[in-house]
């Protein structure tokens, strides 16, 4: 069953079309990685899926709610955002709230439960992520890895159908990356529909069911991760994948949904040796 | 004529009697300025273009006209064009004039405070499906208020000093009383130094209080945890 459908989508900034002729269908419970060079339109595509970026042409359908670029209604935007949420590159934790208050905020402000229930639910999510000890700390005192995991906790606490990740590890120090990737991998195992813009090719191979390759505002290819992200082929995508692989010197690791931390640590160790 | 310390010291009990009136004027004018400034900031940020232009005109006019001229317009000028202003007391006119003038400065300060809140904070609220009002009141406003607090405090400091202009309308406050005392004793230097000192002390106390408030409110935004400072101080003392 498709959960997200994007049809004939285009996004235009002043005169420049940053996305054109985008068509894609994402199944419920699937994990999709969007990859491509910088400035290709990956993030813009992701942002159209919960309408932080409004489309100039085409339609976006999430969980049965369709928004058409020709007549965008505020109610439909809210309906879509009710089903999908986003994790940002720069975390964007509310600076005036503690980690716990950040995680409580979607439940409280969308009036999804009473205060006591909200607090215990939020604490439960933080506990699952191993973040209970920092619940009362403000974002400024948290490390990048902790901040991003709190922001993931905040994104999933209201049980959205879709979680969108915009380069969730790009702003992190290398030693923080594995914690965040592990957290995302945990969510993948819970069959939450996820779309991830990432440069972590190895990670994409391990957890993504599908990969969408975007270049110059268009989808160049989409399909199963092991097929699209293969280093054996020739052509533009293989060149791109190979260039990323070379950059971080990733050795071949077994493709599995488990053992992300171990393989990630091996990568880090091999990188420092 | 030498500086008379005895006379100088005897002035203070006389002058401090008027501190409550000066503070009353400053606080009420500040309240007017904050309320008017906040509402007009919202108009400037979110209302239709013609209303935004009107606010710009308001800011430009009240920042451009000298305070004394403004007070005279309010107290002497307005009653001429409308009988509704005829019974207005000098105190009310002074407070209203000062409040309106400072609101023009506050609009600029509040606007900058709101603009300084990171766009990512707003986007995070949108992505989590918060309403516009919720994002504004629970995320933008608390952060903007802290950003705007130091400059708003400066406005209050100016306002407190500008209450001395109320004497020109016939309000007897600290400065007006000082003027009366100086005319009677002909000891201008002692009197005006004493008047100046009283303003200075009030502003020192206010500045200290504001710093305390800023410290409390900025706690969530500080990386350094208080007990870390304490322990480092203890260890340096031990050395």
> Mind listing the domains of chain A with CATH numbers?
2-93+160-272 (3.40.50.300), 95-141 (no CATH)
Per the CB < 8 Å rule, is B220 touching A81? no
A59 close contact with B: CB closer than 8 A: no
Per the CB < 8 Å rule, is A106 touching B219? no
Binning pLDDT at 50, 70 and 90, where does residue A95 land? very high
Per the CB < 8 Å rule, is B128 touching A81? yes
DSSP chain B: ----HHHHHHHHHHHGGGHHHHHHHHHHHHHHHHHHHHHHHHHHHHS-HHHHHHHHHHHHHHHHS-HHHHHHIIIIIHHHH-GGGTT--HHHHHHHHHHHHHHHHHHHHHHHHHHTS-HHHHHHHHHTT--HHHIIIIIIHHHHHHHHHHHHHHHHHHHHHHGGGGGGGT--SHHHHHHHHHHHH--HHHHHHHHHHHHHHHHHHHHHHHHHHHHHHTGGG-SS-HHHHHHHHHHHHH-
Residue linked to tokens 């690791």: A253
What is the predicted pLDDT for the residue at A207?
Answer: 87
**pLDDT over 80 at B197, yes or no:** yes
Give the SS3 label for residue A235. Answer: coil
The pLDDT tens digits of the residues spanning B95-117 come to 999 999 999 999 999 999 999 99
Distance separating alpha carbons of residues A31 and A271, to the nearest angstrom: 27
The pLDDT tens digits of the residues spanning A149-184 come to 999 999 999 999 999 999 998 888 888 888 888 888
A153 close contact with B: CB closer than 8 A: no
Query: Which CATH number applies to B16-173?
Result: 1.10.3720.10
Closest listed residue to residue A107, CA positions, set A95, A115, A97:
A115
Percent of residues, chain A, with pLDDT higher than 70: 89
Contacts of A230 (CB under 8 A, 6+ apart): A238, A241
Query: What residues of A are in contact with residue B118 (Cβ under 8 Å)?
Result: 92, 95
Burial readout A26-45 (b: 16 or more C-beta within 10 A, e: otherwise): beeebbbbbbbbeebbbbbb
CB A220 within 8 A of CB A22: no
CB A101 within 8 A of CB A94: yes
**pLDDT over 50 at B235, yes or no:** no
Per DSSP, helices labelled H in A115-259 are 115-128, 144-156, 174-189, 201-207, 225-228, 236-248
**pLDDT over 90 at B31, yes or no:** yes
HSE-up (13 A, CA, CB side) for residue A92: 26
The residue that leads in pLDDT, A205 or B114, is B114
DSSP element (H, E) containing A54: none
Identity of the residue in A50, A98, A140 whose CB atom sits nearest the CB atom of B127: A50
Burial readout B159-178 (b: 16 or more C-beta within 10 A, e: otherwise): bbbbbbbbbbbebebbbbbb
Identity of the residue in B129, B134, B221 whose CB atom sits nearest the CB atom of A82: B129
For A:75-114, CB contacts with B below 8 A are: 78, 81-82, 85-86, 88, 90, 92-98, 105-106, 109-110
What is the predicted pLDDT for the residue at B226?
Answer: 45
What is the predicted pLDDT for the residue at A15?
Answer: 84
Mutate to test the interface with B, among A76, A92, A103 (most CBs of B within 10 A): A92
DSSP A84: E
Query: What residues of A are in contact with residue B134 (Cβ under 8 Å)?
Result: 109
DSSP A71: B
A35 close contact with B: CB closer than 8 A: no
The pLDDT tens digits of the residues spanning A207-255 come to 899 999 999 999 998 999 888 887 776 678 888 887 776 655 445 554 4
Tokens of A209: 């069911």
Distance separating alpha carbons of residues B190 and B176, to the nearest angstrom: 15
What is the predicted pLDDT for the residue at A252?
Answer: 52
**pLDDT over 60 at B60, yes or no:** yes
Phi/psi of residue A72, each to 5°?
-95, 120
Query: What residues of B are in contact with residue A170 (Cβ under 8 Å)?
Result: none
Query: What residues of A are in contact with residue B138 (Cβ under 8 Å)?
Result: 94, 105, 109
Q: What is the ipTM of this complex?
A: 0.85
Contacts of B222 (CB under 8 A, 6+ apart): A140
Q: Which of A6-10, A79-83, B106-110, B222-226 has the lowest mean pLDDT?
A: B222-226
Q: What is the largest CA-CA distance in chain B?
A: 75
What is the predicted pLDDT for the residue at A206?
Answer: 86
Helices B19-46 and B188-217, packing angle to 10 deg = 50
Q: Where are the domains of chain B?
A: 16-173
Give the SS3 label for residue A174. Answer: helix
Please tell me the distance in Å from B113's CA to the nearest CA on chain A: 15
């Amino acid at each position: 069953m498709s959960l997200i459908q994007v049809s004939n989508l285009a996004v235009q900034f002043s005169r420049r079309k940053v996305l054109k002729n985008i068509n894609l269908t994402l199944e419920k419970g699937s994990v999709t990685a969007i990859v491509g060079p910088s400035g290709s339109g990956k993030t813009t595509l992701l942002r159209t899926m919960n309408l932080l970026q409004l489309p100039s042409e085409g339609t976006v359908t999430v969980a049965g709610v369709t928004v058409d670029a020709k007549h965008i209604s505020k109610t439909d935007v809210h309906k879509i955002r009710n089903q999908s949420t986003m994790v940002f590159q720069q975390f964007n934790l509310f600076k005036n709230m503690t980690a716990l208050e950040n995680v409580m905020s979607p439940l409280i402000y969308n009036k999804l439960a009473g205060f006591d229930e909200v607090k215990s639910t939020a604490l439960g999510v933080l506990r699952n992520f191993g973040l209970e000890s920092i619940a009362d700390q403000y974002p400024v005192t948290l490390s990048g890895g902790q901040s991003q995991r709190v922001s993931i906790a905040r994104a999933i606490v209201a049980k959205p159908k879709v979680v969108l990740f915009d380069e969730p590890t790009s702003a992190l120090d290398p030693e923080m990356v594995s914690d965040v990737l592990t957290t995302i991998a945990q969510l993948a195992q819970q069959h939450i529909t996820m779309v991830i813009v990432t440069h972590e090719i190895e990670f994409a191979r391990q957890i993504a069911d599908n990969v969408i390759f975007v270049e110059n505002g268009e989808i160049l290819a989409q399909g199963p991760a092991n097929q699209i992200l293969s280093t054996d082929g020739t052509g533009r995508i293989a060149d791109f994948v190979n260039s990323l692989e070379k950059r971080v010197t990733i050795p071949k690791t077994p493709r599995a949904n488990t053992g992300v931390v171990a393989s990630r640590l091996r990568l880090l160790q091999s990188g420092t040796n | 004529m030498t500086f008379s310390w005895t006379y100088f010291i005897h002035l203070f009990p006389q002058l401090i009697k008027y501190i409550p009136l000066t503070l009353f004027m400053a606080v009420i004018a500040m309240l007017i300025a904050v309320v008017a400034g906040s509402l007009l900031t919202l108009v400037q940020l979110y209302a239709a273009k013609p209303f935004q232009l009107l606010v710009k005109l308001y800011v430009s006019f009240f920042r451009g006209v000298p305070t004394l001229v403004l007070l005279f317009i309010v107290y002497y000028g307005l009653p001429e064009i409308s009988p509704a202003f005829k019974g207005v007391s000098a105190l009310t006119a002074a407070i209203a004039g000062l409040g309106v003038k400072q609101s023009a400065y506050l609009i600029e300060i509040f606007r900058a405070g709101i603009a300084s809140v990171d766009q990512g904070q707003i986007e995070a609220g949108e992505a989590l499906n918060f309403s516009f009002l919720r994002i504004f009141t629970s995320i933008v406003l608390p952060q903007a208020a802290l950003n705007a607090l130091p400059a708003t405090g400066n406005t209050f400091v100016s306002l407190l000093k500008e209450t001395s202009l109320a004497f020109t309308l016939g309000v007897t406050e600290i400065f007006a009383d000082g003027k009366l005392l100086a005319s009677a004793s002909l000891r201008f230097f002692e009197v005006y130094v004493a008047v100046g000192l009283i303003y200075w002390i009030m502003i020192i106390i206010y500045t200290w209080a504001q710093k305390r408030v800023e410290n409390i409110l900025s706690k969530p935004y500080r990386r350094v945890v208080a007990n870390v400072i304490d322990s480092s101080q203890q260890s340096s003392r031990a050395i």
